[in-house]
Chains A and B, each alone.
Chain A
Amino acid sequence: MEIVCSGAYHTRMITGGCPFSRRRFLQAAGGAAGAFAASALFPPLLLAAGGKTVDVGVASAANPAERARRAVALVGGMKSFVSRGDVVVLKPNIGWDRTPEQAATTDPEFVVAVAEMCLAAGAKSVRVFDRTCNDARRCYVSSGIKDAVERFARTNHAEDALRIYHVEDRKFVRTTIPNALSIKEWDLYRDALEADKIVNLPIAKHHSLSGITLGLKNMMGIMGGNRGQIHYRLSECLVDIHRRVPVALTVIDAGRVLIRNGPSGGNLADVKSFGKAFASRDVIAADVVAAEKIFRMAPRDVGHIGKAMESGLGVSSVAQIRLVEG
């Protein structure tokens, strides 16, 4: 595993004092290798424990499962996030009645690979669900996620431990969100509220309102009620949700990326092969890096990411992010 750290991110930004332009961001990321070489000597965990720096694993591999495994390994392996006996909720994007090739939903192999890692790390149970936009049955089938997860559970005799199921109205719980920016209370899914750990598995794609959708926005899938209305103040709402239901690990699927007409897409011409995965314990850090690497967008270009950085939810500047590539 090669560890390349990009201290260049913050050193240039902060000392330069100039606005954080896309171009600068690019240059910074490109010239990352040398500037921060010293910290490559430290094991990544030690740095994270220091509290200042957050690792973001960036993995490239030809197949989705391999990408997921590598990205998680780069940030310390699943055992740093999931403990023995944990009840884990996996939250992929199953939002649309689209096939994996259309890249509107998380790749099924990617989901299965993460589920497998959770089980291997000793999770007592792994639950997979999403509140969908199209008919839930169609989304679960078309995305290939239902079949892939069930097949894996069956062949590994883990039907009890690993389950994918549909969201039910009766399991939404009216939840108050202390210090909320926008939504003081909302119906959230009971299983997510009660889980020991939540692993967030978004697919990176274009989004017509927020520009792009990554880890922060994916957690809308645990919300009940009239979700359309949160679009009026999307950034604040997303911060509120994450404050109430913190995510232990975010692994972003960027194997195929929908670069136009998101989030639902449909047209294969809008899908580009990217072959990467991003992982971090800090959802904001993961989003910042993915936004830059995939879409060449800086945090201020994406309203809800910028807002989240101001909120104190996670990293508040690019300076706190350390890239770990492999």
Chain B
Amino acid sequence: MRTTRTLRRVSQWVVFLVFAFLFLNTEYKDNDVLPYAVNLFLRLDPLMAGAATLAGRALIGLVWPALVVALLTVALGRFFCGWFCPLGAVLDAADATVFRRRKARRKDAVPESWRKYKFLVLFFLAASSLFTLQWVFLFDPISILIRTFTVSVFPALNLVLHGIFDGLYRAPGPIPAISEPVYGFLKSHFLAFEQPVFRTSAIVGLLFLGILVAERYQRRFWCRNLCPLGALLALVGRFGLFRRRITEAGCTRCGLCESDCRMAAIGGDVAVTDHGECIECMDCQAICPEEVIHFSGKEGRKPAAVDLTRRGVLASAALGAVTVPFFRVEAYGKAPDPLLIRPPGALVEREFLARCTRCGECMRVCIANGLQPTWFEAGIEGMWSPILVSRIGYCEYNCTLCGQVCPTGAIRRLPLLEKRKTKLGLAHVDRSRCLPWVGQSDCIVCEEHCPTWSKAIVFREERTQTARGEWKMFKKPYIDEDLCVGCGICETKCPLTDRAAVLVTSRGETRSTGVLAR
């Protein structure tokens, strides 16, 4: 009876490989339009879809696949966690390798009762979302996984591999002749075009490490105790038609299934299954010496009760709701950070934050590495949402990729012509630092890079007094605010090495004013 377990393992591998493939292809590959839905995984996520819909007060067409997953869960139970979830697959892989020898010893390290926390987290998040504050990104496993890979794991891996191959490239003798073909293959299929860098990368990596290390104390610690997506699927799937049952006549009560269950879904009596907790991994069926365990559509024994109290549910939901006004009176709502430049096509701030999943897809695909995770520029609730940091990278004039990958439409998919007219903010010249303005030297770099036709940065040739008192002619940059789209290339390319002398702030952004630039 090992076939179904093998099937489940194959499914996990295949899904993870698809996940990795889509991740690696969330990138410009000589094509203005990404050829397939690289954002598929977040669109399959009923938790994120529900939260964005609730908080954003809008039906989001993009997330229809999540409805399919929800309906499948009603029919099949919590299969998603065992068969499909890429984070689950990573955790299982960690169990099978790093934490292999800990299996026996770690039993009972974490109290059984902790599993209720995932429900409490879920109710907290749901209530909060109902009142427009969307926190789901903190706990959603798909969001966590993509964000971590984008901001942290992939850039770090890229750095290390590059370091190795750069070293080999400079090595003497025949070494480069061997290493370079390998490098060429990696470069075209796996490595980043240019080394990406991200703010918050270390902390995002550490949080993920925390989830992995928790496996040391309990198998699937995250999924059992904290994952609100797991909790949602448990609630939806506990009456699923496909469930574990035992032919009691043949069962010797050896308890092997119970002790080996990765979710501790088999309780007290081995014939009793908590169908909300069971992720249908099929381990118990595979290991049962008597082969009396089956998964089928027929009714098993009465399911175990969820260990949730009404008081707990109400308290967490109330807490989620009560938190909202405290965040709504944060002052950034009235005076937002002037450097909070959102991607082109971003919705107005409130709707944007309600929908943004913080998955980092837009940052991953951003061609110039300009989209970065926020720390607190948009408040605590805005953490990890995308911000264009022009000193790191700019918004490429002919690129529309971020709008193509956003899974919830927080960044609208703009046609190129509309995108070119969408203002992210406006540039201004710091006349106390700009070289021609202070009579230091010629420059023109901002003007030559300005992508609009005609140019939003124009020169006026004017006499300027140098520091030594001589009068000289300089071409000084001026900004035409009607033409400037706030792409930030001037700020990126400004040759001053520290703070640029031409800077973009959010003033005049199209999404707030509601009008397109002329």
A contacts, CB < 8 Å to B: 97, 133-138, 140-142, 146, 166, 170, 207-209, 226, 228-229, 231-234, 261-267, 270
Instruction: Known A137-B28, A207-B448; judge A170-B455 contact (CB<8 A).
Output: no
**Contact A266 B453, beta carbon cutoff 8 Å:** yes
Whether B28 and A232, one on each chain, are in contact in the complex, defined by CB atoms closer than 8 angstroms, is no
Report chain A residues within 8 Å CB of B166: 170
The residue on B at minimum CB distance from A233 is: B441
Contact A261 B396 (CB under 8 A): no
Contact partners of A233 in chain B: CB under 8 A: 441
Question: Does B133 have its Cβ within 8 Å of any Cβ on chain A?
Answer: no
Are the CB atoms of B367 and A208 closer together than 8 Å? no
Cross-chain contact B435 with A232 (CB below 8 angstroms): yes
Comparing B116-124, B333-341, B493-501, the segment that makes contact with chain A is: B493-501
Query: Which listed residue (A141, A208, A231, A264) contacts B451, Cβ 8 A?
Result: A264
Could you show 5 A-B contacts with beta carbons less than 8 Å apart?
Answer: A97-B397, A208-B448, A209-B444, A232-B435, A233-B441
Report chain B residues within 8 Å CB of A138: 28, 367, 396, 398-399
Neighbour of B396 across the interface among A97, A207, A226, A231, CB < 8 A: A97
In angstroms, how far is the closest chain A Cβ from the Cβ of B31?
8
Q: Is the CB of B452 within 8 A of A266?
A: yes
For B453, list chain A residues within 8 Å (CB). Answer: 261, 265-267, 270
Interface size class of B (residues with CB under 8 A): 20 to 34
Q: In the complex, what residue of chain A is closest to B187 when comparing beta carbons?
A: A168
What mask results when residues 381 to 398 of chain B are scored 1 for a CB within 8 Å of chain A, else 0?
000000000000000111
Given contacts A97-B396, A97-B397, A137-B28, contact A263 B448 (CB under 8 A): yes
Asked if B396 and A135 sit within 8 Å, CB to CB, the answer is yes
Residues of B356-384 whose CB lies within 8 A of A: 367-368
Given contact pairs A142-B398, A231-B495, A261-B454, A208 touches B447 in the complex (Cβ within 8 A): yes
Whether the Cβ atoms of B442 and A228 lie closer than 8 Å is no
Instruction: Take A208-B475, A261-B453, A264-B449 as given contacts and tell me if A231 and B444 are in contact as well, using a CB distance cutoff of 8 Å.
Output: yes
Q: B residues within 8 A CB of A226?
A: 495, 497
Q: Does B169 contact A (CB under 8 A)?
A: yes
Give chain B interface residues in 139-189, CB to chain A under 8 Å.
162, 166, 169
Once the chains are docked, how many angstroms separate the CA of A262 from the CA of B447? 9
In the complex, whether B287 has a CB less than 8 A from a CB of chain A is no
CB of B459 closer than 8 Å to a CB of A = yes
B30 on interface, CB distance cutoff 8 Å: yes
B443 interface hit (Cβ, 8 Å): yes
Q: How far is the CB of B432 from chain A (nearest CB, A)?
A: 18
Q: How far is the CA of A231 from the CA of B28 in the complex (A)?
A: 31
State whether the Cβ of B36 lies closer than 8 Å to any Cβ in chain A.
Answer: no
Q: Is B193 an interface residue (CB 8 A)?
A: yes
User: Within the assembled complex, what's the spacing in Å between the Cα atoms of A166 and B169?
Assistant: 17
Most chain B beta-carbon contacts within 10 A, residue among A134, A233, A270: A134
Q: Which residue of chain B has its CB nearest to the CB of A267?
A: B453
Residues of A within 8 A of B450 (CB): 264
Residue B445 interfacial (CB < 8 Å): yes
Interchain CA distance A136-B194 in the complex, whole Å: 10
State the CA gap A281–B448 with chains docked (Å). Answer: 29
Residues of A within 8 A of B443 (CB): 209, 228, 231-232
- Inter-chain contacts of B454 with A (CB < 8 A): 261, 267
B156 to chain A, nearest CB (A): 18
| Closest CB in chain B relative to A141 CB, distance in Å | 5
Instruction: Identify B455's interface contact among A133, A135, A261, CB under 8 A.
Output: A261
The answer to whether B441 touches A232, judged by C-beta atoms less than 8 angstroms apart, is yes
A209, B449: Cβ atoms closer than 8 Å: no
User: Quick one: which of A97, A208, A267 has the most chain B CB within 10 A?
Assistant: A208
**Residues B259-301 near A (CB distance < 8 A):** none
A229 closest partner in B (C-beta): B495
Complex Cα–Cα for A153 and B280 (A): 54
Given A97-B397, A264-B450, A266-B453; A228-B445 close (CB under 8 Å): yes
B495–A134 CB distance below 8 A? no
**Complex CA distance for A209 and B451, rounded to whole angstroms:** 16
Please report the C-alpha to C-alpha distance between residue A159 and residue B160 in the assembled complex, in whole angstroms. 31
Q: Which residues of the other chain, B, contact A266 by a CB distance below 8 angstroms?
A: 451-453
The reply to whether B495 and A228 contact each other, CB–CB distance below 8 Å, is: yes
Q: With A228-B493, A231-B443 in contact, is A97–B30 under 8 Å at CB?
A: no
Residues of B contacting A136 with CB < 8 Å?
193
Q: Are A209 and B495 in contact (CB under 8 A)?
A: no
From residue A98, how far is it (CB to closest CB) to chain B in Å? 9
The distance from the CB of A209 to the nearest CB of chain B, in whole angstroms, is 4
Residues of B232-262 at the interface with A, using a CB-CB cut-off of 8 Å, are: none
Determine which of B28, B455, B494 lies in contact with A228 in the assembled complex, contact meaning CB atoms within 8 Å.
B494
With both chains docked as a complex, state the minimum distance between the C-beta of A61 and any C-beta of chain B, in angstroms: 29
Nearest A residue (CB) for B450: A264
Min distance, Cβ A144 to any Cβ of chain B, angstroms: 12
Q: A138-B398, A226-B495, A228-B493 are in contact. Are A133 and B449 (CB under 8 A)?
A: yes
| B30 close to A141 (CB less than 8 A) | yes
**How distant is the Cα of A209 from the Cα of B30 in the complex, in angstroms?**
31
In the A-B complex, the 8 residue pairs with the closest CB atoms: A228-B495, A267-B453, A266-B453, A209-B444, A232-B441, A228-B445, A229-B495, A135-B367
